Structure 1
């Protein structure tokens, strides 16, 4: 997540394209754009009305039931197969697929390990980004790879997979409380050897004491994975009367309206970086998160107030905040080596990433639905209504545009090594 962006803890894809690919049941569908259409220079991961997908030159692959790896190199797909579920991996650069295996029962892919080898699947469509699950007492979760089932969990309570630990021995989950009528959740880690969920550690690497686990009621807006794939950062907004673990342990009051939840996938600790007012006061959709390619800086933007915050990932503290012109609509951000790009409405703004100085900008034809930088940083892809345009990242000049019917959002790059 700039690195590669995940829409709140979930990675996606949807290979779409200028020609609307007809879906055949739940199987991936491939189409080729007309010869007169402009080929997109870099392969992109997108979401379209039909599911997840990849835009790659003249080809468009739509995957109704899939989840992408963090680096965009592969998509894991499923399709009903009688009483079971067909499960396979698609290479986004070549289109090659692994041998299909059949999983017992009906499953949907939800989360992929940071190294791209393991997948957590659930029996329903609820994932870590799409809202509150229905009440339940037991949550079945399947862990699989291209060879088949590795673990089958029957978690007592209402759990949703979020991410894997770096050593693949644990699964981070959202536990929704109370299980039958959920209105809040907390992050826990399940030991895959014992199937037992337990608390995370503090930043000091000590176990969180009983009663001091954070319970969240707000909106998880967006998550990004650090470039080295060891840390997951998630932006939360609208946390009424929220108290962090450090506040619960110390007895201090807490009432954060927005913060970045930092989850260390290696050492299994979590820490929250509070954001100052007015972050969190306006709609969650007006907020966005991006990480620098070096992984040393996080940027949080709130377009409703025009606020931009820079967070040091080493210190886990806000270094500074600046103000841009206010905007309306959904916010999107992408960070390059020396620039930060912010999109909302029909405007794209570019700021100096080091100094967060005065912004320049340009307008696009329709409301922005995603910003993605090319691998060399020279092109900025801008998702719009039923289209993707790409621009010179230094000047904003439009270099090309491709129609993508049904485009929902542009997520990141695909098919990179």
Structure 2
């Protein structure tokens, strides 16, 4: 295996008219790209983008670790696939690992060491897989293939257990015409899938596993990397495991699925009306930096809910002015910042009230809290802007052609 660099590198530059042709030719002068203060990982039309200063790099098939430190990438190599790992803070790449056949990265372990790959990429929150009876999965690290799996059914890898011995997957049902799914955990040593435990660590009885039909809107990993929170909306006649066990009817429109990566248990936190009634993309959630509070918002209705992550209950709610468009949210110790349409809104967490509101140039396509919380990054049309997190006032802007959304800071916040 030989040391490698990116198989494809794209430098994205912003072109601006100089108002007059250069004296030495007929082409207008090019304005140099604006430096972005912090390294960022973004979604581009061509893949994952790494933005550092004035440098713009595109990695066509890649997935990042939750903290943004590591990216695992693949590229075709004849009939096979080359797989490697990138340390985004240093730019160092690992040696290529050659994988037989075609593979794309699906999810990365929380420590960044392992990646699960499937033949086709499927988002766990934005799409459903095509029909299939068996799902091949490879688990790879920088030294090579660690596990070769052929999992019965139609599954999509979601996350690794915190000890890296198991893989949580979404099992889609029925396999040839999937319209619902359940979360299961696969033992990597045996390839055997099993149901999750309940919150009190009891095995789920046969027939009592939750099957979800709605939209998985967004997933957020706790700062301690042990719990994955996923926001679900539009669950017609959904019943939680606790309802199936007790025989109570279910009538849930939105909830937060809480998956413990160490204990291998799951619990759902119901969200009150009107959550789940409006468009799925109008919902967003964010964790406080210490992980103690999970904030969920529905910009269509203006509803905001604060969840205690220790008690796994909704602690309080508020109703703000409604809005339109896909919603995005970030939080710090004292405030929740929500972006939707052409509006940024700063919500004071002490009273769950709007403390500041500011228009932006283009519709918001993502929000990120910069390292240390000093800056708020906003994805817009072919650009990233950065703002004062207290007032939401724009401080700077850089062109990023092909920008589709924001992933994560390339260094921990």
TM-score exceeds 0.5: yes
1:17-37 per-residue CA deviation (whole Å, 9 max, x = no partner) reads: xxxxxxxxx933142646633
Pairing 1:107–2:87 present: no
Segments of 5+ residues of structure 2 without an aligned counterpart are: 1-5, 15-30
1:364-409 per-residue CA deviation (whole Å, 9 max, x = no partner) reads: 0000111111222221111111111111112222211001111111
- Return the match for 2:383 from 378, 387, 399: 387
Q: CA deviation at 1:416?
A: 4.1
User: In structure 2, how many angstroms separate the alpha carbons of the residues matched to 1:403 and 1:187?
Assistant: 40
Which structure is richer in relative contact order (CA contacts within 8 A, separation 6 or more)?
1
Q: 1:336-347 counterparts in 2 under 5 A? A: 336-347=332-343
Specify the alignment match of 1:175 in structure 2.
Answer: 171
Change (3 A) 1:28 1:292: farther
User: In structure 2, how many angstroms separate the alpha carbons of the residues matched to 1:40 and 1:182?
Assistant: 42
Q: Counterpart of 1:212 in 2: which secondary structure?
A: coil
User: In structure 2, how many angstroms separate the alpha carbons of the residues matched to 1:127 and 1:380?
Assistant: 26
User: In structure 2, how many angstroms separate the alpha carbons of the residues matched to 1:407 and 1:145?
Assistant: 29
User: In structure 2, how many angstroms separate the alpha carbons of the residues matched to 1:245 and 1:416?
Assistant: 35
Q: CA deviation at 1:415?
A: 3.4
User: In structure 2, how many angstroms separate the alpha carbons of the residues matched to 1:56 and 1:259?
Assistant: 37
TM-score (norm: length of structure 2): 0.93
Q: CA deviation at 1:115?
A: 1.1
- Return the match for 2:351 from 351, 355, 373: 355
User: In structure 2, how many angstroms separate the alpha carbons of the residues matched to 1:358 and 1:412?
Assistant: 25
Q: Counterpart of 1:144 in 2: which secondary structure?
A: strand
1:339-361 per-residue CA deviation (whole Å, 9 max, x = no partner) reads: 11001010000011233233311
Name the count of aligned residue pairs.
392
Specify the alignment match of 2:271 in structure 1.
Answer: 275
User: In structure 1, how many angstroms separate the alpha carbons of the residues matched to 2:63 and 2:7?
Assistant: 14
CA contact (8 A) 2:126 2:216 kept: no
Range moving further from structure 2, 407-416 or 51-60 = 407-416
- Return the match for 1:142 from 108, 119, 138: 138
Q: 1:240-389 counterparts in 2 under 5 A? A: 240-389=236-385
Specify the alignment match of 2:91 in structure 1.
Answer: 95
Specify the alignment match of 2:27 in structure 1.
Answer: none
User: In structure 2, how many angstroms separate the alpha carbons of the residues matched to 1:160 and 1:189?
Assistant: 11
Segments of 5+ residues of structure 1 without an aligned counterpart are: 1-25
User: In structure 1, how many angstroms separate the alpha carbons of the residues matched to 2:204 and 2:12?
Assistant: 53
User: In structure 2, how many angstroms separate the alpha carbons of the residues matched to 1:181 and 1:173?
Assistant: 18
Alignment RMSD, CA only? 1.3
CA contact (8 A) 2:356 2:391 kept: no
Range moving further from structure 2, 133-142 or 267-276 = 133-142
Q: CA deviation at 1:160?
A: 0.7
Specify the alignment match of 2:398 in structure 1.
Answer: 402
CA contact (8 A) 1:324 1:359 kept: no
TM-score (norm: length of structure 1): 0.92
User: In structure 2, how many angstroms separate the alpha carbons of the residues matched to 1:272 and 1:32?
Assistant: 42
